[in-house]
Amino acid sequence: MEGSPLTSAPLFQRYHDIVDDPAAFEEACRSPLPRFFWTNSLRTSPQRLAARLGSEGFDPRPLPWAPGAFRVPAEQSSLGRHWTYLAGHFQIQEASAMIPARVLAPETAHRVLDLCAAPGNKTVQCAVAMDNRGTVVGNDLDCGRLGPLRQSIDRLGLFNVTITCHDGVNYPPRTGPFDRILVDAPCSCEGTSRRAMDRSGRDRPPYHRFQRKQILLLSQAVRRCRVGGRIVYSTCTYAPEENEAVVDAVLKQFDGRLRILPFAVEGLRTTEGLTEWDRTTFLPDLAAARRIWPHHNDTGGFFIALLERIAGPPEEEAEPSPIGERAHPGGYQHISGRGESALKLLTDRFGIAPDTWAGLIFLENKAQVGFLAAASHRPPNLPEQTSGLKCIHLRPRYPILTTGAAAAFGPLAARNRIAATADQRDAYLRREAFTPSADQLANCDGTGYVLVGYQEAVLGMGFYGEEQGRIASLFPKSLAIGGCGTD
């Protein structure tokens, strides 16, 4: 991409005085970005995942600064079509974008808010790191951009996430205090140039256009954070106007109530935050922030600051109770009386132990879709929020497990589960019917819904017609592929 407007001198020359090797920096911005992903530890182990992908033509190499994460060469672009991805064994995410959630370091009992969540990779990264416990809230102003987050929750099998659609600048006080808040703010996105080479460039992006909103978002995060809680502010841009200047303004606004903390990520090369830029001086503490440059780690670019709320008057807010103690009056979801009977039907059909549902609350929405959320989950109480894993379609005469629930609970099934061959797997993922053998049908009860598995995974639901001797694929159109092999 030599000569791309985004990597031309007028744009990136402004950073030559603050980067150690301007030529290497610009060369990195013009080179293809490797593909990165992290293991869903709820489904598999990094060792098993690496071995599986390695045996099927990929070359996964561990990231030294991110346990359980890997990179493959840029040309191995079919990761998102591989069956292990579709079965929820890993999540694709740019390497530098993995760092903010790691620095946030959420724990299993925490309430976590991702204030600008879309498309949701950092939200689900926190949820998996918390071992599917605690409370993670993924919020975004644009409801249309939250679709990928819903898909990731279902594909990865998460019960501890709630999605809200609200203006982060005015996120309601009644949502209660949070232990950890991530503000991955909207920005000019210069750091994504390696994966967005066709992005139209300008000599001078409007850096100040985003600054006011960034300050308002970070200020609101401070108000929603409990004393002793921590906030990560991050962007994928190099511009000091959107990075150090924003954190500097909020530190001064909350003087004595907020501080910036130093941090390091072992194995990751970073540089200090700036304390001056373009004749403007920032607080000396800004050196504790970290900059990630693309030529240091062969990644995209990022800025990260870790903050701690150390004092302040209590905000007007109500501590949310566990989800099982309230009925979401007038909300999008409500606790459903049909949950017990629907789950019993599934238990009977697939031989799933009844205690599998212990610790989960069954919620139903207005479209008669059932969700399962952790009983200890403590989300906000906003009208349009959705909590938990989309589990069961209740409209048919016989409830149908969703693909996400089949992948989550299917490995526990004792019957009506088909172990597919590689060819049958590929047909299933293309939404094509296939003919099972007599051995494959040995634990099936005749015509009805079946779980379609491959090796240790369950891919989703099928329907076996005994008379036709075929299994129809019920794999979602939105995920179906033309082929699931490697490059």
Q: Map residue 136 onto helix, strand or coil.
A: strand
Q: What residues contact 147, with CB distance under 8 A and at least 6 apart?
A: none
From the list 165, 187, 225, 236, the catalytic residue is 236
Dihedral pair phi/psi, residue 162, rounded to 5°: -120, 135
Virtual torsion, Cα 444, 446, 450, 452, nearest 10 deg = 60
Number of H helices, E strands in the chain: 13, 25
> Cα(144)–Cα(146) distance, rounded to whole angstroms?
6
DSSP assignment letter at 287: G
> Cα(90)–Cα(42) distance, rounded to whole angstroms?
10
> Cα(294)–Cα(296) distance, rounded to whole angstroms?
6
Dihedral pair phi/psi, residue 185, rounded to 5°: -75, 150
DSSP assignment letter at 67: T
Q: Are 203 and 190 in contact (CB under 8 A)?
A: no
* Angle between the N-to-C axes of helices 244-253 and 207-224, in degrees from 0 to 180, rounded to the nearest 10: 40
258 CB-side CA count, 13 A = 27
Q: Are 400 and 150 in contact (CB under 8 A)?
A: no
Residue with tokens 């293309």: 430
Q: Give the H/E segment covering residue 369.
A: strand 369-374
Q: Are 176 and 320 in contact (CB under 8 A)?
A: yes
DSSP-derived secondary structure for 310-336: ---PPPS--PPPPGGG---TTSSEEE-
User: What is the CB neighbour count within 10 angstroms for residue 251?
Assistant: 22
Residue 116 falls in the annotated catalytic set: no
Q: What residues contact 251, with CB distance under 8 A and at least 6 apart?
A: 258, 259, 260, 283, 285, 307
Q: Are 157 and 360 in contact (CB under 8 A)?
A: no
Q: Which residues are catalytic?
A: 236
